[in-house]
Amino acid sequence: MADRTADERAKHPRTVLAGPYGHPFHPILITVPVGAWIATLVFDVLALFAEDPSGLLLGAQVLVAIGVVGAVVAAVVGFLDYSVIPPGTPAKRTATVHMLLNLVAIALFGLSWLARVDAGHDDMPVIGVALSLVGLALIGASGYLGGKLAYHYGVRVAGEEKQVEGFRR
């Protein structure tokens, strides 16, 4: 692996836990927290119009927790991808901002969960909802950067010589 260029090393996994060459696990794993946290917002909005919002508020609280656990797992695997990006490069700087935004979002959703637990299931947890909204904005910005890492810089994406195989007859 020492004879590979920096960009070639950034395409290959450090360990099998990160996923095979050209098919990293991190993008798959982020669907759990993103989906859970978007569903949380849906439950929060529905709770505003419900006669008895307690079930929806409990559901939102559980979804926030599922998202936090899923995000921690995705972050661990994402860090494996981060570790193969050469230091001092635009890709590493982009990945660092991507990681920091996600870590802040995880913290905000953790605080949202605490606020929701504290509020119970009979009242709308205004602080919890506000923290979730800020967290969603952060993961939106982070997702943009994640797309830039994959589609612009090609981090953990198979090289073009491998990609062309999909277009041969």
Confidence (pLDDT) at 164 = 84
Let me know: does 89 contact 6? Beta carbons within 8 Å. Answer: yes
Cα 57 from chain centroid? 23
pLDDT given for residue 76 in this prediction: 97
Which pLDDT belongs to residue 2? Answer: 56
Kindly provide the residue ranges of all beta strands, DSSP E only, lying in 39-129, ordered along the sequence: none
Angstrom CA distances, 90 to 7, 49, 57, 169, stand at 12, 46, 42, 36
In terms of residues, how long is the chain? 169
Exposure on the CB side of residue 1, measured as CA atoms within 13 A = 11
**In a structure prediction context, what are the per-residue pLDDT tens digits for the chain, which is 169 residues long?**
556 787 777 788 777 788 877 788 999 999 999 999 999 999 999 999 999 999 999 999 999 999 999 999 999 999 999 999 999 999 999 999 999 999 999 999 999 999 999 998 888 899 999 999 999 999 999 999 999 999 999 888 878 888 888 888 8
DSSP 65: H
Ordered by start, the domain boundaries in the chain are: 6-159
Q: Cα–Cα distance between 97 and 122 in angstroms, integer?
A: 38
